[in-house]
Amino acid sequence: MDAYDENAVFSSIDHSGRYSYAMQPRILAWNISRLAQALLPLMEGEEAQVIDAANARLDGIAGIYRSQWRAAFARKLGIDAPTPADDAVIAGFLTLIQGADFTQSFRALQAAKTDAARLSALIPLDGRTRLDGWLAQWRARIGPAAAWGDLNAVNPAAIPRNHMVQAALDAAEGGDMAPFHALLEQLQNPFAPEAGREAFCLPAPTGYGRYTTYCGT
């Protein structure tokens, strides 16, 4: 997301926000519930027992999701062997970067081990007042800087941003495949340094406007 928003909606027809970013865990559970409902006639046993067995499995979805969510974000933050106590550190960072470029914010963490200037410049003003407190909490959790891994190895610099994908599509429709191949080449090395390929690592230029997407995009 060029401007991280937990309530971001990615389909222009989703007016209620049913499939917003923050709603993804609930939608996942809903989809699996509908699948389970469809499979009930194929399961052996008495109806009540089958329903109880299915519900027991469904009840575990929330815990599995939370565990995977924690593991994914802990890896991006350089947190080793995450526990539920680390959820506060993860949530704290996501709160800080509300309105900031999601990809660039995580990419800035490598430098933020010792100098948070790049990260601070990305964060909206209201978040900067809380940055020092979060950094202290994060650094204390991670441990000595010398022991930290390379966070640039898990946080990409180049991603398939909408404006770059659209430009490649427009050119391809006109018979020019060069922009597509150039973008593909960069995406095959997402974690490489930004130097020399900045155009593929930055959000859409000012004035590009809101990108409209649809369910099948």
- What gap in Å lies between CA 62 and CA 25, rounded to an integer? 8
Per-residue pLDDT, 127: 83
Q: How far apart are the first and last CA of the chain?
A: 15
Tokens of 38: 């469809």
Q: How far apart are CA 121 and CA 105, in angstroms?
A: 10
Please state the φ and ψ torsions of residue 82, each to the nearest 5 degrees: -65, 150
pLDDT means over runs of 10, the chain (217 residues): 87 86 88 88 84 85 91 94 95 95 96 93 90 94 73 96 94 97 96 94 82 70
Instruction: List all residues 6 or more positions away from 54 whose beta carbon is below 8 Å from its beta carbon.
Output: 36, 37, 39, 40, 43
The residue count of the chain comes to 217
